[in-house]
Structure 1
């Protein structure tokens, strides 16, 4: 047990390098911990799925064997998207599911995303699994395994409540991730013509990496839209819980701007609803949500943390800059890239020129995510220090819900410690370039004083 590496137990999931920090033997032990934790939470059945990575079937089988040894029953969904596992926990009424996925990480990675008793496991709950393994506090029993194909139920559930005003033609880029097995069928079911790029599931990702938050990965969609009569382009990450959107003229509509449109739509039916967005998102959301009759709420970054906050606040909708969008209104409240695309098409089908609607959404000058690389443990210590010591002249407000987000009259700056890698993440947004430069200089000054040896990326 001692050889199980603690560093694979991350803030939002368990994740490691296949054959090194994540082996079938380790995954079986983790399965025993998950099954035992499920029993403590009064669960009886767990849905299990895996994405398109080459190691998926073997690791999924190891996970299932570990869970069965605790007396918990398993519903084996086979190869599915992460959102389809989440969907199955509602549709099959298990409340519990585990997805074997490496998400957008390199091909030699894999991992586990876990929901038990309706709660997505994160931070302390994931560390508790490690402690259980260390202490070997496992239940013994013999669960039963059954196979179930959830695809048609998932597609029907979407088709039955999404209604386009007119047929639309789209291009989808699945980056050879697991979305390729299901996205075309979903979009066809609601009345779309679909042109496919890299929709053969291939865990080596031979064309480009399945991560739509990286602009270069959207180049193929942009190029295809120029020569096609498709109206819009979508791209998905490796396990299909995140969406990238490209307009006909090649503009990337980042997820926080997508959220503006989703918020307006949801609030038209649910006045006064709470809409949550993470600290990396555009400041335009505050006023926009208020103007549309809703309550804006900024929260910590991380899909599991956002889901927990949604439950607590009974929020109708939430979104993260990284591309996770969570619809509670008319759906179940989990993040799903394919479903977010469907909701976007439902709104845009009311217009003759969808790209114009997207391009006209409020926009500001902003940086992509910038990173300061550090040693393990350093980012959190530095941010904690800066939260108490840092001084920012002329700031309207300093938000400390997740790092330091400093709001100014004409923009904001953010620095936070990543929960997945040892980096400090920075993002800046402003009304003009002069304001952007001024805010960056203020952060430079504070960071240089606290950590003079750090290499700043701006």
Structure 2
């Protein structure tokens, strides 16, 4: 060693200086970076805390202003001049009442009176009246004590504060008044908020897809998941968005502590080097250990630790089934369900792992039992066997109901009191597809909950146990339950086309049990679907049904998809009754028994649906497409009914709230057979509003590209004079029609639909959308 050093004089000194300088530089850079990030974190948190305080103060100020304005309107309605008009004998002079109210309330820009039974809404022309005014009147009728005020923009683009109030005299309701007042004072109150380091937004809506009215504070705000704080007495909300600070480290104090500790250790290491010398330190660090240390992963290290005696077996991480890891494709875990191609992404081992993941999630939720059913696909029995094996390996007790439509599996969840179930189904997809629709504890898993199952498999967060298995047939109970609830007042002849899907084993029996004469078409279950694909949303699949309905002189034709949760309808004239028009009929029927009930529909439904619901005393609510998303919204709003353009119908009244095409068919036949005038189904459908519309149009894209396209389209598209809805893609509504483009959550395509009062309006709206789509991507193929 001395000879080597003598040959290379000064080596020890140079290495020590160089290493010390490098360590000092690294520690200084780390310290500066940490200080910068800490300052940014403090700045962001400080801004967020200030925003919360300012928002609370602003909401209080706005609520006080709304309350005072409402009190002024009510005081004006109680003034002697208005009361004198309201108390008059005979029919109310609406013009005189409006003049008296404007005199008592000089700041009002407009005042109108409407009859106490709101005939102007329920039977009038809503385009002339205005949908916003109609909705405000219905809110005043349903919530007379606290009808909400809202902002509306008039024809001159001037913002007004509109509120509807009941107008009484002598202790009886004489009318409803709609008053419009300046919105500027509300804006002044909001704009007076002083905030730094964040942004406040004045919005209108229910927290999803709100209309942003104004903002104050930092202009460089990022999109926020904040739903906003509602302003009492109004439909306004105050939302919050934080600035786009570039913060690399999390806000965790623990991480800052770790970084601080590493800095101290680094400093200690540098001091140690000065004491022992670099060459000695290198020699010590390179000294071989007496026992070779095997490198393992963090998961393996945790698994090798002894388990505490008190720890439950259900929480023990499961060891891999074999040395060969099973690849589980993340793309199968979609927004509403899990779906893949059998033999490729979806294999026996993958299905077993999915069972283990679902079972592990269920056990963590405190659940013990789960129902499993399957559709008629050839791959069903093998996938069910793998799924049940995986579920039982986690300690779940499984009830196998065999081959049954998805709604029957949902029914079994209630009938057998499990609250949990899995339907193994490929729905309307080609025969080589299959998948899983999952309900746990009454919640239909969707979006994040579906993706978490994949993460659970990847991270091996799987539990062990020994679950039981029993087989129970609930088919007869399902048929009996519907037959006990629904009966037709006259016998109707109906052709039932099940496309060789599993509904063929149930739908004819259900319809016969309620008193219908049934002609079966393709009702023998065959997983190869030899006649046509079981998808009633594809009009080509309805051609045979239309032919048979005409030949048999039947009253109606009914079509079901592959697992029975969707319904299609055709008339003897060959007309396809689209699901949004069926929803009108269902809503009218339900609202006769449940006035004021909420009716939910998805963004693909016709613009004629909202006024029909309003006219019959209901509360319409547009929501995102997707059966699991609709069911979640139904639970949140306690809605009586929901429907999608795809043919999913959800009955909360007299049923369980899940989508059931077979039950929907029974309810439809009940309504048609009970018509007091004895009209044919075609005559009844002819009374429903109908415009000119397109079916769903699709533009294929690469996986994931359709989501990116929609985000860019939302940002760049401009539709002057339209009311925009962005809860699911972008929908633009004009007085005479609307257009929609959204990203499908099941396949990588853009979905478009157009609906208008006439062909000219439809062509105009399509031209506007075509121009905006081409502006974003000139090469985009147009299906219209």
Q: TM-score, normalised by structure 2?
A: 0.58
Name the SS of the counterpart of 1:63 in structure 2: helix
Residue 163 of structure 1 and its aligned partner are, at CA, apart by 2.0
Matched, 1:366 2:693: yes
Residue 134 of structure 1 and its aligned partner are, at CA, apart by 0.3
User: Which residue of the partner structure matches residue 595 of structure 2?
Assistant: 271
Query: Which of residues 739, 746, 751 in structure 2 aligns to 1:420?
Result: 746
* Cα distance in 2 between the residues matched to 1:214 and 1:373: 16
User: Which residue of the partner structure matches residue 534 of structure 2?
Assistant: 210
Query: Which of residues 38, 46, 52 in structure 1 aligns to 2:370?
Result: 46
| Bigger Rg, structure 1 or 2 | 2
Residue 381 of structure 1 and its aligned partner are, at CA, apart by 1.1
* Cα distance in 2 between the residues matched to 1:230 and 1:432: 31
Name the SS of the counterpart of 1:160 in structure 2: helix
Matched, 1:329 2:653: yes
- Whether the 8 Å contact between 2:367 and 2:441 is mirrored in structure 1 is yes
User: Which residue of the partner structure matches residue 241 of structure 1?
Assistant: 565
User: Which residue of the partner structure matches residue 497 of structure 2?
Assistant: 173
Greater RCO structure (CA 8 Å; 6+ sep): 1
Name the SS of the counterpart of 2:519 in structure 1: strand
Structure with bigger helix share is 2
* Cα distance in 1 between the residues matched to 2:374 and 2:506: 14
Residue 2 of structure 1 and its aligned partner are, at CA, apart by 5.5
- Whether the 8 Å contact between 2:501 and 2:561 is mirrored in structure 1 is yes
- Whether the 8 Å contact between 2:488 and 2:673 is mirrored in structure 1 is yes
User: Which residue of the partner structure matches residue 579 of structure 2?
Assistant: 255
* Cα distance in 2 between the residues matched to 1:161 and 1:454: 50
Query: Which of residues 710, 723, 730 in structure 2 aligns to 1:383?
Result: 710
Residue 270 of structure 1 and its aligned partner are, at CA, apart by 0.3
Residue 225 of structure 1 and its aligned partner are, at CA, apart by 1.2
Q: Name stretches of at least 5 consecutive residues in structure 2 with no aligned partner.
A: 1-324
User: Which residue of the partner structure matches residue 105 of structure 2?
Assistant: none
- Whether the 8 Å contact between 1:177 and 1:199 is mirrored in structure 2 is yes
* Cα distance in 2 between the residues matched to 1:435 and 1:227: 36
* Cα distance in 1 between the residues matched to 2:681 and 2:714: 42
Q: Name stretches of at least 5 consecutive residues in structure 1 with no aligned partner.
A: none
- Whether the 8 Å contact between 2:326 and 2:350 is mirrored in structure 1 is no
User: Which residue of the partner structure matches residue 398 of structure 1?
Assistant: 724
Between 130-139 and 353-362, the greater mean CA deviation after superposition: 353-362
* Cα distance in 2 between the residues matched to 1:311 and 1:198: 36
User: Which residue of the partner structure matches residue 197 of structure 1?
Assistant: 521
- Whether the 8 Å contact between 1:234 and 1:341 is mirrored in structure 2 is yes
* Cα distance in 1 between the residues matched to 2:607 and 2:355: 41
Between 382-391 and 296-305, the greater mean CA deviation after superposition: 382-391
Name the SS of the counterpart of 1:394 in structure 2: coil
Count of equivalent residues: 457
Name the SS of the counterpart of 2:353 in structure 1: helix
User: Which residue of the partner structure matches residue 447 of structure 1?
Assistant: 773
* Cα distance in 2 between the residues matched to 1:382 and 1:416: 9
Deviations 1:386-412 (A, max 9, x none): 2222211221x1001101000001100
* Cα distance in 2 between the residues matched to 1:334 and 1:372: 30
Name the SS of the counterpart of 1:276 in structure 2: strand
* Cα distance in 2 between the residues matched to 1:436 and 1:249: 24
Between 318-327 and 164-173, the greater mean CA deviation after superposition: 164-173
Query: Which of residues 380, 383, 399 in structure 2 aligns to 1:75?
Result: 399
User: Which residue of the partner structure matches residue 637 of structure 2?
Assistant: 313
Q: TM-score, normalised by structure 1?
A: 0.99
Residue 343 of structure 1 and its aligned partner are, at CA, apart by 0.2
* Cα distance in 1 between the residues matched to 2:551 and 2:393: 55
* Cα distance in 2 between the residues matched to 1:278 and 1:42: 33
Kindly report structure 1 stretches of 4+ aligned residues shifted beyond 2 Å: none
| 1:107-186 mapped onto 2 (5 Å cutoff) | 107-186=431-510
* Cα distance in 2 between the residues matched to 1:173 and 1:399: 36
Query: Which of residues 666, 669, 674 in structure 2 aligns to 1:345?
Result: 669
Residue 62 of structure 1 and its aligned partner are, at CA, apart by 0.6
| 1:427-438 mapped onto 2 (5 Å cutoff) | 427-438=753-764
- Whether the 8 Å contact between 1:247 and 1:358 is mirrored in structure 2 is no
* Cα distance in 2 between the residues matched to 1:109 and 1:355: 36
* Cα distance in 1 between the residues matched to 2:399 and 2:590: 34
Residue 276 of structure 1 and its aligned partner are, at CA, apart by 0.3
- Whether the 8 Å contact between 1:2 and 1:134 is mirrored in structure 2 is no
Query: Which of residues 9, 12, 21 in structure 1 aligns to 2:345?
Result: 21
* Cα distance in 1 between the residues matched to 2:454 and 2:470: 28
* Cα distance in 2 between the residues matched to 1:384 and 1:205: 38
* Cα distance in 2 between the residues matched to 1:80 and 1:377: 33
User: Which residue of the partner structure matches residue 229 of structure 1?
Assistant: 553
Matched, 1:97 2:414: no
Deviations 1:232-255 (A, max 9, x none): 110100000000111122111010
User: Which residue of the partner structure matches residue 132 of structure 2?
Assistant: none
Name the SS of the counterpart of 2:655 in structure 1: coil
* Cα distance in 2 between the residues matched to 1:441 and 1:232: 36
Residue 122 of structure 1 and its aligned partner are, at CA, apart by 0.7
* Cα distance in 2 between the residues matched to 1:242 and 1:374: 26
- Whether the 8 Å contact between 2:422 and 2:438 is mirrored in structure 1 is yes
* Cα distance in 2 between the residues matched to 1:226 and 1:127: 47
Residue 423 of structure 1 and its aligned partner are, at CA, apart by 1.1
Name the SS of the counterpart of 2:489 in structure 1: coil
* Cα distance in 2 between the residues matched to 1:366 and 1:94: 42
- Whether the 8 Å contact between 1:251 and 1:359 is mirrored in structure 2 is no
Name the SS of the counterpart of 1:435 in structure 2: helix
Name the SS of the counterpart of 2:620 in structure 1: strand
* Cα distance in 2 between the residues matched to 1:425 and 1:168: 36
